[in-house]
Amino acid sequence: MTLHHFEPINKSMRNLSLEEKVAEMCVLGLAKQTLPSADKLRLGQIGGVGIFPHDIGSYAYTKQLLQEVREAAGEQRGGLPFYLSIDEEAGSLSNFKDFFPYIPGNRAVALSEDPQAAYALGRLIGSQLFELGIPMNWAPVLDVNTNIDNPVIGVRSFGEDPKLVAAYGEAYIRGLHSAGIASTAKHFPGHGQVSGDSHYVLPECELTLEQLMAGPLIPFQRAIEAQVDSMMLAHLIFPNIPESQGLPASLSPFFVTDLLRIQLGYEGVICTDDVEMGAIKNNFEPEEVGRLAIQAGNDMILMCHTPDFQQRVMNGIVQAVRAGDIAESQIDASLLRIERLKNSFVMYREKAQPLPMNSWEKEALALAKATIVVEQDPASLLPLTPSKKYLLLVPKQEKLTVADNAAASELTLEAKLLGKNINVKTIYTSMQPDAQEIEAIMAELTPYDVVMLGTINAHIFEDQLQLARRLADAKPLITLVLRNPYDAALLPQKTSKVFICSTSEYAMRAFAELHCTI
């Protein structure tokens, strides 16, 4: 097979002005779910675009929008494709669930205890991106979720064991690559141990460098060995790592250059997480953000919402170069890495072996079935049977973080069970049912033989546990852990417990097909 090769820093890049070079290092978001003339003008002047849930419509609309983006950007600038990426993680952050199979995410996949499931996840997601013409994914999430109350990672992580996360992350990267898609490991050096959400605040991580090296950094080291294409830096501060000088990792020369680039030997593109997140935007002026991000050693800056903020960030970089605070040779080195990344887009696409679209449903269902685990069933309440009446109680999903669009989807479990001739009725509860709501639920139990209770982060929303205890004393109870797995240890011991760790349609279908009598 013949692959394209490009000279280092092609002619079109060498002839750019300083302002144009800086713009090539910036990845922006679109203003809204259209492509107005202002966006079209900017697209011809910047390095890349990030696609977000608000940009997604129907399949036809999304395909058309992406084509317009590529055309407006001038897809073959100097023979290289446009940088176009998305956070497509599956599970709680799924952008295409209205028209592609809505599949479980990382934590559910880890229930399989088989890294091959992570490879299958990466290949299926990669096949979807290949079909849409998006060459890069801001995934996988390689954060080790050591703080179980972490508000922003949770089921986006493969788990709590660094070596397990490393194995699944490496397999996921290979899966993306096999489908022709470039990968991004995030959020370096690890967001899973903090208690704050960087979309809103600037969290602190108390770990020392030695502790980071012994745990959270292991998956990122493995990703480097797997030839991950990009690394995304987290907005976290590390008070016990004095070399960082109190700066967020994303703006810290120690984390970006000394640790990632030099000590760990990473040679690919390094980018910030979105600098319009509250962690950065609320603590630094835009011009300072641009200067600090590039001085730290980032090759690309993600800023995905506000044109004025974005322009000020770019102005700050230009001013810093002209003042001698940043060498233009550093800008050129970043442009070379970006060119190499875009070269890889071409090579991955030429070698791609994506799954054919007509196989996606079968692959999604097989993957979902591999993720569902019955931890215990002491009263032999499974499988479900048409001879019994079931009451299904499920919290009405809420948006738990900005990086979460699961709440917009209706839980389809009742429909899947009815399709298997199971006599079931659903009652939606609050995420935090109070005493009055619990009493109202208890008054509904009489006609039912068995109650099924879905939990969504009951280890945080603890009133769900109070409801579970009351139900377990009144009726045979099956508990379905639908989000973080940590609920199971807190649920009544005498109940049946099923790990699903997803509310996706294919997870619901898999449960119905695995645990209903025919």
Model confidence pLDDT, tens digit, residues 120-178: 999 999 999 999 999 999 999 999 999 988 878 999 999 999 999 999 999 999 999 99
Tell me if 269 sits within 8 A of 230, measured CB to CB.
yes
pLDDT tens, position by position, 222-232: 999 999 999 99
Residue 12 pLDDT: 53
Q: Which of 199, 305, 377, 449 is catalytic?
A: 199
Q: According to the model, what pLDDT value does residue 252 have?
A: 98
Higher pLDDT, 346 or 79: 346
- For the purposes of burial, counting CB atoms within 10 Å of the CB of 225, is it exposed (0-12), middle (13-18) or buried (19 or more)? exposed
Lowest mean pLDDT among 38-47, 276-285, 335-344, 352-361: 38-47
The average pLDDT across 103-129 equals: 97
Residue that is written with structure tokens 């298997």 in the block: 420
pLDDT score recorded for residue 379: 97
User: Which residues, 6 or more positions from 372, have their beta carbon under 8 angstroms from its beta carbon?
Assistant: 111, 498, 499, 500, 507, 510, 511, 514, 515
- Three-state SS at 271: strand
Residue 397: the pLDDT is 86
Is residue 24 within 8 Å of residue 47, measured between CB atoms? yes
pLDDT tier, 75 (very low <50, low <70, confident <90, very high otherwise) = low
Mean pLDDT for 343-370 is: 97
Verify whether residue 199 is a known catalytic residue.
yes
Checking if the pLDDT of 41 tops 80, the result is: no
pLDDT of 399: 80
Residue 7 has pLDDT above 50, yes or no: no
Instruction: Flag the least confident range among 12-26, 304-318, 384-398, 445-459.
Output: 12-26
Q: How far apart are CA 171 and CA 116, in angstroms?
A: 7
Q: Using N-to-C axis directions, what is the helix angle for 328-351 and 286-296, rounded to 10°?
A: 70
**Average pLDDT over every residue of 242-267:** 98
Residue 430 banded pLDDT, cuts 50, 70, 90 = very high
Q: What's the mean pLDDT in 194-216?
A: 92
| pLDDT over 50 at 203, yes or no | yes
404 is catalytic: no
Range with the poorest average pLDDT among 46-55, 209-218, 326-335: 46-55
Query: What mean pLDDT value characterizes the chain?
Result: 93
Reduce the secondary structure of 111-128 to three states and give it as a string: CCCCHHHHHHHHHHHHHH
Highest average pLDDT, of 189-198, 200-209, 351-360, comes from 351-360
Which pLDDT does position 4 carry in this prediction? 38
Task: With a cut of 70, say whether residue 10 has pLDDT above it.
Answer: no
* 428: confidence class by pLDDT, cuts 50, 70, 90: very high
Q: How many CB atoms are closer than 10 A to CB 256?
A: 28
For 259, the 3-state DSSP assignment is helix
How far apart, in whole angstroms, are the C-alpha atoms of residue 243 and residue 231? 20
Residue 51 has pLDDT above 70, yes or no: yes
pLDDT digits (tens, 9 = 90+) for 444-486: 999 999 999 999 999 999 999 999 999 999 999 999 999 999 9
Question: Is the pLDDT confidence value at 357 over 50?
Answer: yes
Quick one: pLDDT at residue 76?
A: 52
- Catalytic residue (one of 273, 274, 299, 404): 273
Predicted confidence at residue 137, as pLDDT, reads 98
DSSP structure class, residue 356:
P
pLDDT at 490: 98
Give the rounded percent of residues in the chain with a pLDDT score beyond 90: 83
CA–CA distance, 225 with 242 (Å, rounded to integer): 28
